Amino acid sequence: MVKALGAFGALFAAAFVFLTGNGLLNTLLSTRMAVEGFSTATTGMVLSCYFTGLLAGSFTCHRLIQRVGHIRAFTVFAATTTAVALLHGLHLSPWFWGTLRFLSGITTFGMFMVIESWLNECTESRFRGRVFSIYMTLTYLGIGIGQQLLNIGNVQEQGLFIIAAILFALCLIPVSTTEGVHPRLPETKPYHFIAIFRKAPLGMLGSMAAGLTNSAFYAMTPVLCTDIGLTLHQLSWIMSITVFSGLTAQWLIGNLSDRFDRIAVLIGVATALAAVSGFMFINAETSFGGMAAQMGLFGALAFAIYPVSVARAHDIFGGQDAVAVSAGLLFAYSIGASVSPVLASGLMTLLRTPFGLFVFWCLINCTFAAVTFCLRKHEKVEIVPVADQVAFVPMKSTSPVVMALDPRGKINAQ
């Protein structure tokens, strides 16, 4: 196993460095717009362009990879991401930044696709679960550490944009110097959004709810923290605590979802998330320590919705459909993520308080919990016995390619 993981050292290093830079840049942009006095609605629209770019990348990036190969494609994506990061620091304009965020979304998806298809091609089946878990852990770890880099510069100057660009450029080194051959993209079956929804509606709805919740967190939480007067240091810790709590709690909630009916777990997590969000709105004027604790609990619940929803869908479909189904679920997640900053910022503006973000989270998850309960009560969903459920796998949404690494597909296909 150690030898196998050593072979992926370059890819793990590239993923970690890239995600550290990405975590820094995403929070920096929303913080900078809040500091510069842009309206909450404008900030939401600009930042939603990034998630729209991710969605567009899922339809375009694989063509470049197939045409020029993984290493050259990764070079294109990383170089473009580096240039885009630097361009943010040259001119501040909603239209200009919106365009840059859209481009960043496309290139980010392309980089995920290169790294993940490489891991998939070079991983033996008996090591897939462990490689998958390490990759997901590094994803969260990089994003969390990226938040702390906000403290080493001034958000109103170009220094932090340069640091993010340096990290994007550095992730080129391990990939460009690897001695591995060009891997192949995994073969995927075409998926039909409506067909997947009809067979596994809770998986699709849960993925969309997760996109709505998580995207609003990344885009609008820095705006909230800035508007209520938190320092940059405090903001970075709020973001880091939430992300790390999400990673840690996935294992606990995943274990519960393996032992009990996954529909009940989804209803419970969504209800608890709505309650926590509602409590944060009521208890808005709390101390920094109180807010950090509440956001840690929020992260523990919020980041579990997507993997439990994916596991629920895999309970219904066979392992041979794992990649195609997961691509459909990621598409649903991306749709929610694309509109989330706009909807959240609109509600914050309508309520005339930055704490409207908590109301948004409460409404989304309360609605999801209610719909899930109603569908189950009226037997509109297939009930899967606990003994027949697939194994839960902690994960974060990246690209459809990583689903080929998901050990659930291999297990069920045998």
The domains located in the chain, with CATH, are: 2-413 (1.20.1250.20)
- What is the pLDDT, as a whole number, of residue 197? 77
| Residue 272 pLDDT > 60 | yes
Q: Is a pLDDT exceeding 60 seen at residue 387?
A: no
What does the pLDDT average to over 211-220?
Answer: 90
Query: For position 84, what pLDDT does the model report?
Result: 92
Which range has the worst mean pLDDT, 171-180, 183-192, 207-216, 383-392?
383-392
Question: What's the pLDDT score for residue 406?
Answer: 61
- Pick the range with the lowest mean pLDDT from 158-162, 254-258, 351-355, 387-391: 387-391
Amino acid at 225: C
User: Among the listed ranges 65-69, 257-261, 283-287, which one has the minimum average pLDDT value?
Assistant: 257-261
Residue that wins the pLDDT comparison between 320 and 338: 338
pLDDT at 412: 41
Would you state the pLDDT for residue 238?
Answer: 92
**Tokens of residue 80, six digits:** 């473009």
Tell me what the mean pLDDT of segment 367-394 comes to: 67
Nearest Cα to 74, choosing from 179, 143, 166, 173?
173
pLDDT tens for each residue of 170-206: 988 887 776 655 566 656 566 677 777 777 788 888 8
Highest mean pLDDT, choosing among 137-146, 212-221, 321-330:
212-221
Has residue 66 got a pLDDT over 90? Answer: no
pLDDT band at residue 316 using 50, 70 and 90 as cut-offs: confident
Residue 320 in this model has a pLDDT that exceeds 70: no
pLDDT for residue 414 is more than 50: no
Local confidence band at 390 (pLDDT 50, 70, 90 cut-offs): low
Confidence of residue 413 (pLDDT cuts 50, 70, 90): very low
In this predicted structure, what is the pLDDT of residue 164? 92
**pTM tops 0.85, yes or no:** no
